[in-house]
Copies of this chain bind each other. A is one copy, B any other.
């Protein structure tokens, strides 16, 4: 029989680890002195501990190790558990390599060194909006917006206000459609188009409300999407927030089930 220190040295783990495994019932010492409470381990427990360590290395949590190491766990249970762990590892691998690619891209163009124009992904819920129902060229967007606002009373408006870009400058004449959120239940002028902006996951960036800054934000999102081989999934959205601009590119996204 080994006392805790020697067993720890021989097994290559820390004493604290052994006490912890005892505490959570994962590896109980073969004997415990009832008076001194010293833990005594049998040589055969080296292989028990090796099982625990090996399963932990495969990426299992101690709870999972406990479950799989029980005598009562069936072969099919164990196989299922391996599948679960495998799936988790794969997700983590994808995540890590995506981060690695992103950081390499950032290093390559020395971009994040200036912490410039961060892009973030957000899930946006669907929203009820009113618009004029027509797509106008870039130069007419501001007047169209004024007209729209003139037709929707302030009490009916929600917080969101902006432009949907159905076609961007890089594809020819830009075509935009100003919109305002409608407070739920409010009806608008019957000549207005009332539609539901669909829920999307979008890559977003922020800028001040001037042309050059916005252009930089657009470039940042495009670069971000190129780095991640990410496809556009709908018209871009430009939102006005009190002097700030938020630019959203809806993106295609896995549903997490694959």
- Within the complex, the shortest CB–CB distance from A75 to chain B, in Å, comes to 5
Q: Specify the chain B residue showing the minimal Cβ separation from A78.
A: B113
Q: Specify the chain B residue showing the minimal Cβ separation from A115.
A: B51
Known pairs A75-B113, A113-B79; A100 contacts B106 (CB<8 A): no
Q: Specify the chain B residue showing the minimal Cβ separation from A159.
A: B6
- Within the complex, the shortest CB–CB distance from A73 to chain B, in Å, comes to 9
- Residues of B close to A113: CB separation below 8 A: 75, 78-79, 82
Q: Say what secondary structure dominates the interface of chain A.
A: helix
Q: Which single member of B51, B53, B103, B204 contacts A50 (CB below 8 Å)?
A: B204
Q: Which single member of B46, B58, B124 contacts A241 (CB below 8 Å)?
A: B46
Q: Does B78 lie within 8 Å of A103, measured CB to CB? A: no
Q: Specify the chain B residue showing the minimal Cβ separation from A122.
A: B12
Interface string of A102-127 (1 = CB under 8 A from B): 11101100101111001110111000
